[in-house]
Amino acid sequence: YAQAVTLGVLFSVVIAVALARTLARPIQALRKGAEDIGRGRRDVKVNEDRGDELGDLARQFNLMARQLAELDELKESFVAKITHDLRNPLSAIVGYIDAVLLGMMGPLDPKQVKALRVAQSSGAYLGGLIDDILDVTKLEAGKMEFEPMPIRVSAVAEKVLELMQVKAAEYGVTTVVELPDDAIVRVDEKGLRRILLNLVSNALKFTP
């Protein structure tokens, strides 16, 4: 009798272990699939060849993954169209400003030149914002590329303040660059400029 009980217990343990492994594999696959989607992968698919509730769950998961991929593609297409439609009139505006500054429309006095230079810089800034929209899409898709190189920080800061000078004047703030000319760092210049623009913009907006 004792041997029978022992064998029964061992048999139950073996069955329980086998059942646990059978259930654990699809659950682990679902967890890994969710992690892959979280990392930006679109081609995620788990095995759904089961006739139980886990099979139903796997099928629902695959359906969700396909729908997410379709939404991502739709979003990218929408962003690409919007940025394209914004860039076309902006290019025309910047082109006319360049033409006026070159004297094609007649002579300009110093004040007019200064105003047009600011408009030119603002056009470049707006073009950068359009690029930022595309960059956000790339970041979310894990396709963003950075190009670190030696950069003179003061030069980047001066460009940033030049772009923000109209806004600074609007708030009655004077901006200066207090950086040594020999301060060199290895960074992605576009990324650094974006960071400084955000910081300066928020500083002008929310502080005296």
Is 181 a residue whose pLDDT tops 70?
yes
**Dist CA 145 CA 188 (whole Å):** 10
Write out pLDDT tens, residues 96-119. Answer: 888 888 888 888 888 888 888 888
Q: How high is the pLDDT of residue 185?
A: 92
C-alpha separations of 71 from 65, 78, 82, 115, 144 in Å: 10, 10, 16, 43, 19
* 184: β partners: 152
**Dist CA 130 CA 156 (whole Å):** 19
Write out pLDDT tens, residues 53-78. Answer: 667 777 787 788 777 777 777 777 77
Q: Which residues contact 118 (CB under 8 A, 6 or more apart)?
A: 165, 166
Which residue has better confidence, 5 or 207? 207
pTM equals 0.46
pLDDT more than 70, % of the chain: 78
C-alpha separations of 150 from 5, 58, 137 in Å: 76, 50, 27
**Dist CA 180 CA 10 (whole Å):** 77
**Dist CA 183 CA 138 (whole Å):** 30
